[in-house]
Structure 1
Amino acid sequence: MNTSLLMLWRYWDEIYQRCTRLTYIEKGKNIFRVVPLRYRGEPLRTSDEQIIQDGDFILKIHIHNYYFASLCRGVQDELRVALLLRRHILQSLPKLAAFLEAMEEREKIKGIVGTTMLHKGVVPLGFSISDVPMNWFFRYKRWYLRLMLRLVHPDGKRRLQTWKQDMPLKRVYMSKEMLLARYGQNRQQTTGDTL
């Protein structure tokens, strides 16, 4: 991605962040931005058998695309981009857990939920995955994320032509209990999350 395009994206990202009420977990260091809201959609069963239902409070998670694009600047290898994303998600999850633990409304929050095309490899991190209904909102979101992929991915144009209309947009989600057990301050130390 060239410098001028990245600069324009930075300005757009600042406007987008203000309009969507997204909160930085740790600006410039964490790949997530979040907004607490009520979940709207079909029931989601997490891997630890918790249920997130329509109307439950959740922490909606967004990958900070501009931040990730700036990290990927100059990276041409597809595998390196994927590994970079996974590493930053893994590094960002403990701070996300700490953010949730510090929230005044933490008792109300049922879990974290996001929508993404970058869902490969997230199950071992504790996430569950489900399809999204392709209504007008998710069609728009898919268009937007396809544009982001074209800009960020070293081979984005070819990847989009390969996937065409079958670009898989998915929900990724995790219960609050799972997030805190795996990544919270009192988590058990594990050795399975190496990259």
Structure 2
Amino acid sequence: MNSSLLTLWGLWDDVYQRCTRLRYIEKGANIFRVVLLRYRGETLVTDDQQVIRNGDLILKIHIHNYYFATLCKGVKDELRLALLLRRHIMQSLPKLASYLESMAQKEEVKGIVGTTMLHKGVQPLGFSISDVPMNWFFRYKRWYLRLLLRIIHPDGKRRVQTWDTEMPLKRVYMSKEMLLQRYGASEHTTLGGSR
């Protein structure tokens, strides 16, 4: 990615951060930003059979695209890009679990939910996947993510052209129970890990 473009994106990202309710899990070290809100959408059933219904409290997760773009600078190989993203998601999930565990509203939160085109390979990490309705909001989000894909991806122009068939917009989600079981402090203590 062009260094000047990356610099401009960084300035815009700072403004965007100040204008939204998104919060960093760990700025400069975690690929997720989050916001606590009421879920609006169809009923979701997670792989561990937990149910997230319209109106339930969730932690909405957003991949910090600018941060990921800085990590990808100079990476030209598509496989390396995918592996880099997967590694950073895996490294970020324990901190996300810790963040949720420390929240005052922890007991009310039903799970984590995000919307992304980067959904391949997330099921082994504990996520469930479903389609999203193509209303005006998701059409706008798809357009925005297509723009980001073109900027970040080493072969972005071609990937955008194959978007509809190979990389549709999907909802990814995980129950609170699954997140804490797989990535929470007690699990990492049991495995001899540390925070």
TM-score band by shorter chain is over 0.9
What code does the residue aligned with 1:50 have? Answer: Q
Partner deviation per Cα, 1:78-136 (whole Å, 9 max, x = no partner): 00000000000000000000000000111110000000000000000000000000000
> What SS does structure 2 have at the residue aligned with 1:181?
helix
Pairwise CA RMSD:
1.5
CA distance in 2, matches of 1:32, 1:22: 10
What is aligned with 2:112?
112
Q: CA deviation at 1:20?
A: 2.0
CA distance in 2, matches of 1:107, 1:163: 38
What is aligned with 2:125?
125
1:47-86 equivalences in 2 (<5 Å): 47-86=47-86
> What SS does structure 1 have at the residue aligned with 2:90?
helix
> What SS does structure 2 have at the residue aligned with 1:55?
coil
What code does the residue aligned with 1:36 have? Answer: L
What is aligned with 1:13?
13
CA distance in 2, matches of 1:14, 1:69: 14
Q: CA deviation at 1:58?
A: 0.1
Q: CA deviation at 1:18?
A: 2.0
Partner deviation per Cα, 1:15-62 (whole Å, 9 max, x = no partner): 222222100000000000000000000000000000000000000000
Contact 1:126–1:179 (CA<8 Å) still a contact in 2? yes
Q: CA deviation at 1:163?
A: 2.8
Normalising by structure 2, we get a TM-score of 0.94
What is aligned with 1:136?
136
Q: How many residues align?
A: 191
Q: 1:8 to 1:188 in 2, by over 3 A?
A: closer
Partner deviation per Cα, 1:57-86 (whole Å, 9 max, x = no partner): 000000000000000000000000000000
What is aligned with 2:173?
173
What code does the residue aligned with 2:52 have? Answer: I
Normalising by structure 1, we get a TM-score of 0.94
CA distance in 2, matches of 1:12, 1:190: 42
Structure 2, unpaired ranges of 5+: none
Contact 1:181–1:188 (CA<8 Å) still a contact in 2? no
CA distance in 2, matches of 1:163, 1:48: 30
Q: CA deviation at 1:162?
A: 2.5
Q: 1:165 to 1:137 in 2, by over 3 A?
A: farther
Q: 1:89 to 1:153 in 2, by over 3 A?
A: same
Contact 2:118–2:167 (CA<8 Å) still a contact in 1? no
Contact 1:34–1:59 (CA<8 Å) still a contact in 2? yes
Q: What stretches of structure 1 move > 3 A for 4+ residues in a row?
A: 164-167, 188-191
What code does the residue aligned with 2:35 have? Answer: V
What code does the residue aligned with 1:30 have? Answer: N
Structure 1, unpaired ranges of 5+: none
Q: CA deviation at 1:167?
A: 4.2
Identity of aligned residues (%): 76
